[in-house]
Amino acid sequence: MGIRYPDPVQEPIPCYLDPRSGPVMPDLIIDVPLFSQRLIEVLKGAGVRNLDLYDAEVIDREREKTYSHYKAVNIVGLVSCADLPRSEYLPGYKPPLMKFTKLRVDESRTLGLPLFRLAEDSLVILVSEAVKQAVEAAKLVGVRVVSLEEPSAY
């Protein structure tokens, strides 16, 4: 995660929807991750340029539908910007798999990127205030930007 894939990726990437999923398709499916074309446009409009995009097909076997307006996304860029002395995290975990219970970011180390993965915990995706505002204004389905102050961020 966070680095470009060195080899070609076979496209489209087939992704199977969980049979428990509802009929409304979200703009973000986090497992892969898959972004809708709409979410990609919002992010690009907010200045995000560090996404490698791959054609994907989301296959809903329950409803016998295939959705092709998604891209598998690789967020390029692992940024080491956790302010560890001011953050709280579980002992025994080291980067890139630290487990934070409170994360403080040293903004001087974010490289000015509006969206990136945190090097200390590569599952964490951080966004700038401009990206947050753009995502909220777009009223995307299934996409929520959570403040690091909120307990649900962890």
What is the rounded distance in angstroms from the CA atom of residue 72 to the CA atom of residue 119? Answer: 21
Please state the rounded mean pLDDT for residues 75-90.
97
User: Mean pLDDT across the chain, nearest whole number?
Assistant: 96
What local confidence, expressed as pLDDT, does residue 137 receive?
A: 98
Distance from the Cα of residue 76 to its chain's centroid: 11
User: Domain segments of the chain: what residues?
Assistant: 13-138
The pLDDT value recorded for residue 104 is 98
Q: pTM for the full model? A: 0.91
Asked if 67 and 34 touch (Cβ cutoff 8 Å), the reply is no
